[in-house]
Amino acid sequence: MTFTEEKQNKELPERSFKTVLYRRWWLWLMALCILAIGIGFFMVRSGKTQLSTGKQTPNPPPRNIPVVAFAATKGEIGVYLNGLGSVTPLYTVTVRSRIDGQLMKVNFREGQIVKSGDLLAEIDPRPYEVQLTQAEGQMIRDQALLTNARLDLQRYQTLVSQDLIPKQQLDTQEYLVHQYEGAVKTDQGQIDNAKLQLIYSKITAPVSGRVGLRLVDPGNIIHATDQNGMLVITQLQPISVVFSIPEDDLPTVLKKLKTGERLTVEVYDREQQQKLAIGLLLTVDNQIDPTTGTVRLKAIFPNKDNELFPNQFVNARLQYEVKHEAIIVPAAAIQRGPQGTFVYVVKDDQTVSVRPVTVGVTQGGDVTIAKGLLQGELVVIDGAERLREGTRVDLKGRNGGATSRPS
């Protein structure tokens, strides 16, 4: 036996073993396929049997959706006109000197609140005291000349009556008396002027208000023609706010003013978060701005606590009407859809119903319902995005407690 034949004889058992394994693997694969087909056939038959007999497994009931509800209330709500405005002082005065001279003393502090008539500064009065003395001396001289001229006039009248002097001399004396009388009046004017300059040397506050920054320091020579002045006084109490409203709203405001009604104005800060003051409407401007289509209004405020400051930007709200016995709900309850505005009303069986409503006045976070809702009905204000007609709900309060239905 050759080597090749011997090798072939050894490989025969190995090939036979592999062939057996290969055939068994196919048998197992075919068995698994038959088992899978049988299971599938059984499940299909079982499903058809359930469908034919109507014995389906019931679906679990849907869970209630938690919502926050609010009971519609009845009350009063204001109707407002909003406008942008700025705080404007009633008086802003630049205090200037009315005479020339050296500024000797300053009697105010920057930022101080002064009253009308308070002494603010003093200018050197000595030059005007000298002028007063000169004018008084000139007057004494002219008064003496006038007295002498009047005595001469009396003598001339007696002499003319006796035909001792000509009439012309008497006339000349009369005109001389008038001349001295005029000189005395001129002297009196000089005296009054010198006294007035002395009064002007003491600078007083023309109005009550807050003093700004000092513009001139003591020791400087100031003049009546100086443009900048010495200081600025701004009145803070009372103070006004000038704001604008659309021209379409002007007839409503004018109608209220003609009846003598006092309209309230509220002012808020720039972010409209903090109420600064409450005042009254004072007047309406006499023309409409054609570029913006708005008209300016002026309101006055006591400003006792200095809440308002000149040139401060504010948001003004003019209340021109009050709605009484109005149905009020939070603005969050109002939903909008293709058919208009509506709310979700919670019924006694803890389901919601879609209720079309007519929205009235919107004020802050509240709105009035003109039609479609009654007092005491619960409306959903949180969680409405998951609701549909007939959805069951669980009422939860804002703080986690249940919201009770009003009686």
Reply yes or no: is the peptide bond before residue 238 cis, omega within 30 of 0. Answer: yes
Q: Is the pLDDT of residue 299 over 70?
A: yes
Strand, coil or helix: what is 264? strand
* CATH number of this structure's domain 125-200, picked from the four choices 1.10.287.470, 1.10.3720.10, 3.30.70.141, 2.30.140.10: 1.10.287.470
* Percent of the chain whose predicted confidence (pLDDT) is above 70: 83
Q: Is the pLDDT of residue 272 over 80?
A: yes
**Crossing angle of helices 167-200 and 126-161, rounded to 10°:** 160
Q: Is the pLDDT of residue 193 over 70?
A: yes
Q: What is the pLDDT of residue 49?
A: 43
Mean pLDDT rounded to a whole number for the chain: 85
Q: What is the pLDDT of residue 78?
A: 84
Do 125-200 and 67-77+325-395 fall under one CATH topology?
no
For 37-68, how does the pLDDT look when each residue is reduced to its tens digit (9 = 90+)?
Answer: 767 666 655 554 444 444 454 555 667 889 99
CA dihedral 240, 243, 249, 254 (to 10 degrees): 20
- How far the first Cα of the chain sits from its last, in Å, is 115
DSSP state of 396: -
For 308-333, how does the pLDDT look when each residue is reduced to its tens digit (9 = 90+)?
Answer: 999 999 999 999 888 888 899 998 99
Instruction: Tell me how far apart the alpha carbons of residues 281 and 253 are, in angstroms, rounded to a whole number.
Output: 10
Q: Which of 161, 147, 150, 95 is nearest to 123 (CA)?
A: 95
**Lowest mean pLDDT, pick from 86-90, 120-124, 210-214, 359-363:** 359-363
* Cβ atoms within 10 Å of 155's Cβ, excluding its own: 12
Q: What CATH number has the domain spanning 67-77+325-395?
A: 2.40.420.20
Q: What is the pLDDT of residue 320?
A: 86
* Percent of the chain whose predicted confidence (pLDDT) is above 90: 57
For the chain, which residues make up each domain, given as ranges? 1-58, 67-77+325-395, 125-200
Q: What is the pLDDT of residue 7?
A: 46
Q: Residue 181 class from Cβ within 10 Å (0-12 exposed, 13-18 middle, 19+ buried)?
A: middle
For 131-147, how does the pLDDT look when each residue is reduced to its tens digit (9 = 90+)?
Answer: 999 999 999 999 999 99
Give me the half-sphere count of Cα atoms (radius 13 Å) on the Cβ side of residue 291: 0
Q: Is the pLDDT of residue 407 over 80?
A: no
Which pTM value belongs to this model? 0.65
**Lowest mean pLDDT, pick from 27-36, 138-147, 208-217:** 27-36
Q: Which of 178, 295, 191, 196 is nearest to 242 (CA)?
A: 295
